Structure formats: structure tokens, C-alpha cells
Amino acid sequence: MKIRPSLLLGLVLATFTFTGCQVVPETGRKQLMLISPAEEARSGLAAFSDIKKSEKISTDAAANAQVQRVGKRIAESVGSRMANTQWEFVVFDSAQVNAFALPGGKVGVYTGLLKLVSSDDELAIVMGHEIAHVTSHHGGERTSQNLAVAGIGVLLAVGMNQQEVSPAKRNQILVAYGLGTTVGVLLPFSRTHESEADRIGLEFAAGAGYDPRAAATFWRKMSAKGGTKPPEFLSTHPSDETRIAALEALAPQYMGLYQTRKARYE
């Protein structure tokens, strides 16, 4: 029994393409979705509750004021995309240069990130990006993708067992399947999610009256931090160079929105 890796990848891609007919409104991209928004929200709320118990919450007044200020405006910009959301913005006292958003409108920002950003504009870029992951249901999509890959892997293993494929050959095929779906499917989708969140996050930030040009400025600072990074095709994120170039190209599209909304907040 000869099973070509290209055939397996084709099966996975076909599953992602033709199952779960949901579309990201801002980009028109079809996505595989095997779990409901309600399930996503329950998971997000539970995860945020656990994080608040395990992480130290900052009492820094200035840090909290900045995150609440920017968060409120971003939430207004998101508007009907997350209607009736009980937003919560929490600052965590940690050196991590990071932020996150979870389904249900729960957003965390680490003090390490606040030390790197030099303006509300840059913070809005990061928060808009993280919230865009939520509005685009990227978490649910990743879960659905993993379920699909695992399910097809089970069917493959059962089929080989029925065909009495030798254990050595069976393991070889399953390893090839795992590597192929990771490099050929899951990682490219992850990079797509990041680029999609960058684009939609710029819209959210500009719609809140924050300068979209701050995105490239922020990511240049992130890139300057250095550190060892894998080649782009083995990474969950686009390379810094790819990301900065894309953000610079996108920013002019949102300048009109930014200038209109900025006047509203002045």
C-alpha cells in the first residue's frame, strides 16, 4: 500500500476548504469551523479566570489607565462585531513583551509590553491585533484544524491497519503525515491568521483614532530585540521583514479613517 504525502495533504486541504463554511467578513477568507462561538466564549472566559488566578495583576495606576483608555476606544471601534460583550482589560505585572485577547472580550496586557510601546498609538496596534484574532475566530479555527488533522490521522491509521501495513511502514507514513500537515498546512494557516489580524487590527486601531503608521514603528522595535528565529516557513508568524513591509503598505488605506476618528476624540 503506497500512500503519497501529497495525497494526504490534498485530503487535509480539501477538508479545510469545503467543510465548515464560515467566512471572515473583513477579508472574505473561508475558514474551517467545527466549534460554535458559544463554545469559544466559554473556553475564553474559563481561561481568563485561570490566568487572573495564576498571574500577578498590576496595581500601577498609569499602566492601568493607559490600557483602559486605549481598550475602551478599541472596543468602540470593534462595535457590532462583538455586540453585547462584557469587555475586561487587565494589566499583568510581568516582563513578558506580550498581550492577548480571548473570546468573551477578555484582554490581558503585560507590563513588559507597556515598557516597549512609546505611545497609545503603538499600544492600540497591539491590542487591535489581538482582538482581531478573536473577532476572526482564529482560536476556534485552529482548534478545528487540529481536530481535522487528528481525525484524518486516525482514519489513516485504521486504514493501514486494515490493509495490514507493516508497523515500520505505518510509523513512517504517520510521521510523514504529521510533518507534512504541520509544515504544509498548519503553519501556513497560522501565518495567515497573523497577517489577517494585522490587517483587521489596523482597521480597529484607526477606527479608534489611533495612527496606523505606528504598526511598522512598533514592529521595528520588536525586530530590534533580536533573538533566534526559525525560517519563515517553519514559523507560526511571518518574518519581521515580511510583516513590516505589509504593514507599511496597508497603513495608507486607513489614514482617512484614522484622521476622521481622531478628530472625534480630540
- Domain spans of the chain, in order of start: 5-265
45 CB burial (10 A radius; 0-12, 13-18, 19+)? middle
Among the residue ranges 40-49, 154-163, 194-203, 243-252, the one predicted with the least confidence is 154-163
pLDDT: which is higher, 11 or 196: 196
Q: How many CB atoms lie within 10 A of CB 80?
A: 6
Confidence of residue 177 (pLDDT cuts 50, 70, 90): confident
Among the residue ranges 12-21, 61-70, 144-153, 239-248, the one predicted with the least confidence is 12-21
Average pLDDT score over residue span 140-158: 84
Q: Indicate left, alpha or beta for 209 from its phi (over 0: left) and psi (-120 to 50: alpha).
A: left
pLDDT: which is higher, 194 or 231: 194
Q: Are 148 and 11 in contact (CB under 8 A)?
A: no
Specify the DSSP element, H or E, that contains 176. Answer: helix 167-181
Confidence of residue 112 (pLDDT cuts 50, 70, 90): very high
Order the strands of the 99-102 sheet from edge to edge: 88-92, 106-110, 99-102
Q: What is the pTM of this model?
A: 0.84
Q: Is the pLDDT of residue 6 over 70?
A: no
Nearest to 59 by CA among 100, 111, 97, 99: 111
Average pLDDT, the chain: 89
Q: Which residues are catalytic?
A: 130
Average pLDDT score over residue span 183-206: 91
pLDDT: which is higher, 32 or 95: 95
